[in-house]
Amino acid sequence: MEKQTTGEKKKLSVREFFTLGEVGGYFFRKKDPSRPSNINIRMMHGINKISIAIFLVGVLYLILKRFI
């Protein structure tokens, strides 16, 4: 995430810190017609999306529990 050039560290802005990156791309990407699609791959991606969502809800719960 941070680019280092000749020993200098670039600080991330708040906007860059909260970008969704690959997780957002995983949930909100367009369908690729050249990508093979069968029931096994669709089920795998569906289960992965559910597990990521449940993990993020759990992290959010722990953060809210800690500060409230």
pTM: 0.56
- In tens, the pLDDT along 11-63 reads 767 666 666 666 666 666 777 778 777 888 889 888 988 998 899 899 999 99
Q: For residue 13, what pLDDT is reported?
A: 72
Q: Contact at 8 Å (CB) between 9 and 2?
A: yes
Distant-in-sequence, close-in-space partners of 4: CB < 8 Å, separation ≥ 6: 10
Q: Which two tokens stand for residue 29?
A: 């990407």
Give SS3 for 19: coil
Half-sphere exposure for 63 (CA within 13 Å, toward CB):
6
6 pLDDT tier (thresholds 50, 70, 90): low
Q: For residue 58, what pLDDT is reported?
A: 96
Does residue 5 register a pLDDT over 70? no
Q: Contact at 8 Å (CB) between 49 and 27?
A: yes
